[in-house]
Amino acid sequence: MSPKRTYFRPATAQQRRFLFETWEATGSVTKACERARVSRSTFYYWKPRFEKEGYSGLEQNRSHARKNTSRKAKEVEEQVIAMYQAHPDWGKKRIEQEMAKANNWVPVVSLNTVRRILQEAKLWTSNREGKKSRGRKESSPG
């Protein structure tokens, strides 16, 4: 059975400041961590930033989230726009299929990405959204 580990919630900016003030005053990482109520790994995580930026570097967490994860390359976006302008009667599915066909049937973009690119370029009109057309004509009652 493994020993139970203590959970430390993420340190606040105030805790981090107190941690490094205590460390500078005592010279002991252990005492500073105990007084600030943070783990040693928190100290060593923030130490490089403290050495580089000082106390101002401890103020805000930096996001680890990736930025623009769903963005396609500029060339792909330009190709989608050019294809739509050359064939305005094509929908997002046809553009997706034609791009895959040109790429040896390996998908390049998804349907929704094609739509998003065209919307951002102000080429996708609202009359295209909504219910699908089934190609049937309504017959008049006879």
pLDDT tens across 55-95, in order? 888 888 766 676 666 677 888 899 999 999 999 999 999 99
Predicted model pTM: 0.44
pLDDT at 72: 72
Unique residue bearing structure tokens 């050359």: 86
Count of CB atoms within 10 A of residue 79's CB? 19
Cα torsion 48, 53, 55, 58: sign: negative
Task: Say yes or no to pLDDT of 4 above 80.
Answer: no
pLDDT (tens digit per residue) in 16-69: 999 999 999 999 999 999 999 888 998 999 999 999 999 888 888 766 676 666
